[in-house]
Structure 1
Amino acid sequence: MKKNLSILLLIISTTSFFAQGTDYLVDSVMIRNIFTESLARGASYDWLNYLSNRIGPRLAGSEGDKKAVAWGKSELEKLGLDKVWLQPVTAHHWERGDKEQAHIETKFGKFNVDICALGGSIATPASGILAEVIEVKSLKEVDSLGDKVKGKIVFYNRPMPPENIETFRSYGQTVDQRYSGARVAGKYGALGVIVRSMNLKMD
């Protein structure tokens, strides 16, 4: 009886193993087909080109944003998806003002700097800002300096860490300077902030 039971269990186990193996092969073929279809006949670059060059900038709440949403809905409907609909959302709208200008004055002379205002940031007074620049590498460093940044411009200069194979992980470890830098420096009385580009350069 025990021998027959052992044989039965072995047959069940083997059958289950081969069933799982068959499912795996079927899934692998399907995934490969999806990749092949996307790589050979995909429309991703055409969509990106249309969004970038035909619709253009798409800041939240802007006219370009509305056009992009309508276009996206239309494209999904063309793909034959069973249900496509829009949901109402609330977005804070931000308009960029006049082109920004900045320069640094040192004992060696005056140097113009290419800058771009961060979306949602507080506008610089029309008369501009003239203040000492203090360099930091992190939000924690600003917290440690505290009132020492009052009346100064805080310069966040932490590059993306180069040791990650996935560069987006490096970006995620660095971008807090951009989305929280002004808030953290502002609570200690800083007049403004400058945030470096999110890249791997060490300068």
Structure 2
Amino acid sequence: MARAASTKGKTRIQREKTEQILDAALEVFSTYGFRGSTIDQIAAEAGLSKPNILYYFDGKEAIHGVLLDRLLHKWLEPLNQLTDSDDPTREICDYVMRKLEMARDFPRESRLFANEILQGAPRIHEQLTGSLKTLTDEKATLIQHWIDKEKIAPVDPHHLIFSIWSTTQHYADFDVQVQSVLGVKSEQRFEIAADHLNKMFRAVLKK
């Protein structure tokens, strides 16, 4: 367990050091994956000594665990915001835009999550089959409700959600590929992607 996982009762310096370590670890884990990362790499990225890192955390497993806990809360929030609406197409497309904005604003977190999934999700399997599945099932039921009311075209609700995840997170997890193919290094690629995804999902959902 991370000694500094909770900042409650910590001094300002301790809180700052904890965040410094977590930010460095996020950079390292999102680049090299859990297996390819070491405490030495995290220490170097943070500009701290290895003993200093181990004063705050028991090891890389503890640091990784804190990052994943934070990530899952952040990752589920856009889906949490999907609610019943008289205009379900707009509601779903707004969700697509929130996910794309996360890919733009939190690419390291997206790659951290992708790396964990590619390794078989050994550290978050319980959450995937628990809170993530529960929320996804709940929103799939809402989408099916819209379909039954003939407000959107018939689609498989779960696979619609999977499609949203894959098309938006692609712009974070494969950003190097996207930039290489497009030759666009500015925010323009996300503006173009937003326009494309909005048109594509509206076409899929159109009655």
Say yes or no: TM over 0.5. Answer: no
| Greater length-normalized contact order (CA 8 Å, ≥ 6 residues apart) | 2
More helix by share: 2
TM-score, normalization by structure 2: 0.23
- Higher strand residue share: 1
Highest CA radius of gyration, 1 or 2?
1
Q: What is the TM-score of this pair, normalised by structure 1?
A: 0.23
